[in-house]
Structure 1
Amino acid sequence: MQKFIQRLLLSHFYVDIILFIFSSCLLLIQWDSLSIDHRLAYGLYITMCLHQLEEYRFPGGFVWGFNKMLFNSDQPDRYPGNRLSAVFVDIFAMFLAGPFLYWHYTPAMAMCFALFAIIEVLGHFMFGILALRRYHTQGKETIYFPGSFTSWIFFAPLSIVLIHELVSTSLMVANQWWWAIGCLIAYFIIGFAWPTFGFINRDTPYIYDEEPREGFYFKKFTNEK
């Protein structure tokens, strides 16, 4: 069973690639029939695919940095965040949001996407400041943190324009706001907090064991063994 789960977790990279290609093709094929807000929602979803690739592969090291910056972990490749919790959170979000984007689109869901993206931008800004404070003496000069590029270059402008579009066209009536905020809160409880804290285990076999363990970005600032 453990070996099977390991294989599933390693599929994270391919899931992001497949969803990126599939969503990009749908967006381009349906472009003329989509509203502006729907196109922007597609843009945020596609960006999330790239965002996850940046966090875990190019340059990678997000979980390592998360564990180190927030918890000063002595096992940042596995504790408290690990591959199982990270992949569950990300894949759950993508598979949950996909059907609403493709077949059951609503302005409330688009607002949910936009607010989530704003949280990502603010979160990576905070992580970047913590990393700069920790590693500035080792040569770190910016507040970049794995995932920051896609957050700043794509999430920030797309989410701001989407919120403006939804509000200026009066697509967000009172019940739509409550639905969007309620779904976002439910996701953070069920899709983020529960797996993040529920899968904490110092002896977990589900670690980020690719080399370098810190990811290619943090490797140049760390001499820790």
Structure 2
Amino acid sequence: MLKQWDKIWLNVLYLVGLVLLMIMVLAGQSWSLRFKLVWLVAIILPVHACEEWQIPGGFHYQYNLSFGSALPNKYPMSRLTDMLTVCIAEVVYIICAVFYQYHWVVMALCGFCLLEVFMHTFFGITMYKRFKNKGKKTIYNPGLASAYLGFGTTAAAMILNLSKYAAITGKDWGLTILLLLLMALFEIFLPERIFRNKQTKYGFDSPMYFTKFLDQKN
């Protein structure tokens, strides 16, 4: 069953994103701005996954290299670990839409969006330094465009909305931090910790975007 899901999950994710987008287009006129922004996060994630996995793909390679892996096509991030990360995240963000009226839910999603921008900036600089002598001229990396244009702009809109309409309390900040930690634990740390395997059958086929910067020694 897992092998079957491995083959189709990205297409299922894209379908979910498309359905969410169509619902927003058809019914969104009556939604509050805050609800739209929370809903939008679950629409952006499939686009982000597409950029990281397929067009151009290769996020796994920079992720694993950045953590010193000698097996950057499969360890510690593999198709299995990142599939779990993305699928769990999508479910979490859809659930968050139910609780959009809570400031701390919006703050946590905003924090996630900003973290995506930060991490892709970090990976971009790291990979630029690594491959600048092999033809890399920018900090672009798989996921950067959707992180900046999607998550970054959404985070900015969330900050404006919260600053204008929300009275943020210490409790909100505490719950925000707690939710972010739980998201990191269940979306990233546990899937990778439990399922990482140097002999995994779920390695990626190639570095994809980064192939053009490699030579035989890499």
Is the structural similarity TM-score above 0.5?
A: yes
- Give 2:2's aligned residue: 5
Residue 185 of structure 1: which of 181, 185, 195 is its match? 181
Secondary structure in 1 aligned to 2:12?
Answer: helix
Other-structure match for 1:53: 50
- Please state whether the residue corresponding to 1:10 is helix, strand or coil: helix
Q: Secondary structure at the match of 1:135?
A: helix
Residues 1:20 and 2:55 are matched in the alignment: no
Q: 1:34 aligns with which of 12, 26, 31?
A: 31
How far apart, CA to CA, are the structure 2 residues paired with 1:147 and 1:179? Answer: 28
Aligned residues of 1:44 and 1:159 also touching (Cα < 8 A)? no
- Aligned-residue offset at 1:221: 0.8
How do 1:1-225 and structure 2 match up within 5 A? 4-71=1-68, 73-101=69-97, 103-106=98-101, 107-170=103-166, 172-209=168-205, 213-215=206-208, 217-224=209-216
Asked if the contact 2:41/2:93 (under 8 Å) is kept, the reply is no
Q: CA deviation at 1:171?
A: 5.3
How far 1:109 moved relative to its partner? 2.0
Aligned length: 216
* SS of aligned partner of 1:220: helix
SS of residue matched to 1:127? helix
Determine if contact 1:83/1:206 at 8 Å carries over to the other structure.
Answer: yes
Q: Aligned partners of 2:175 and 2:26: how far apart in 1?
A: 29
Report if aligned partners of 1:20, 1:49 keep a CA contact under 8 Å in 2.
Answer: yes
In 1: Cα distance, 2:96 partner to 2:113 partner:
16
193-202 or 117-126: bigger deviation: 193-202
Structure 2 length as normaliser, TM-score? 0.92
Counterpart AA for 1:50: V
Q: CA deviation at 1:173?
A: 3.9
**Hey, what's the Cα distance between the residues in 2 that align with 1:64 and 1:141?**
18
Structure 2 unmatched ranges of 5 or more = none
- 1:195 partner amino acid: P
Identity between Structure 1 and Structure 2 (%): 25
Greater shift, 143-152 or 170-179, is seen at 170-179
Change (3 A) 1:114 1:151: same
In 2: Cα distance, 1:121 partner to 1:219 partner:
24
Query: Deviation of residue 199 (structure 1)?
Result: 1.5
Runs (4 or more) in structure 1 with deviation over 4 Å come to: none
Deviation at 1:169, TM superposition (A): 0.6
How much is the aligned-residue C-alpha RMSD, in angstroms?
1.6
The whole-number CA distance in structure 1 between the counterparts of 2:188 and 2:70 is 23
